[in-house]
Structure 1
Amino acid sequence: MGHWMCGRDAEALSWMAQWTRNPWPKKVVWVQDDVTHNRLYWISLPDTVQVKQGQKITGEIDGQTIFITTSEDIQQLTLCLSDALLDLDRPINVYVDGYGEIFQGYVSRTIQAIKDSLRHRADPTSVATAYLELV
């Protein structure tokens, strides 16, 4: 028998084939469901953050500026960055709702970021080349 829908999920393949996934969207709206996750696209939560159902994080990029809003006070998050998202040769600004500007400067690409990104997600189109930890 098929996958989780007794093979009926195969009907969706032709519909899905008309769309191309963008691994680096400029806007992400992440609402945790009953099955929680620690990363969605370019926003990641470290293991030290307790992820809860209903938690919402919105990230939006405008040029070299990143805006983050959260439904509750999240003390830590990591931005998984790439030149596919913004120009890492130029400084970036990060604003978090309720805190204002929390970062302004350059974020360096590192081999370690690439290795860690591939270890967590073996998708070459979504490899982060730099991480920015926001505490």
Structure 2
Amino acid sequence: MEVKSTTKYVRLSPKKARDVAREIQGLPVSNALDILTFTPKKAATLIGKTLKTAIADAENNYSLDTNTLVVKEAVIGAGPTLRRFMPRAKGSAGPILKRTSHISITLVGSAPEKKPKPARKAAAKKTETPAAEPAAAEEQA
């Protein structure tokens, strides 16, 4: 069972939030909360709130055990950008981009299954038999 929780229009740059989100992917919920608690970034508190919401949804709406929950994915998407302008020298203006983010966290009831990667085949190219080349030369003569 997958449980998904989303927080939209967070006033934080997606680039800054993705660094924190990558740290918790694939971890059990308890470890992810510990990492977010001790990470000194604004993104950690906002992602932590979204993670706690997902945990509460899993527990109350789907009756899942919180000890077996694992963070399947933590995705930070770009939200709308507020565009402002700052006056500059000689009557010009410089743009200011106030970026927003959408935080989405997916939890799974147990450890996600890892698919085995198929074995790579040898990339050795086989050349044509040398007997075929002289036969073609005799036909042209």
Shorter-chain-normalised TM-score: which range? under 0.3
TM-score, structure 2 as length reference: 0.23
Which has a greater percent of helix? Answer: 2
Larger CA Rg, structure 1 vs 2: 2
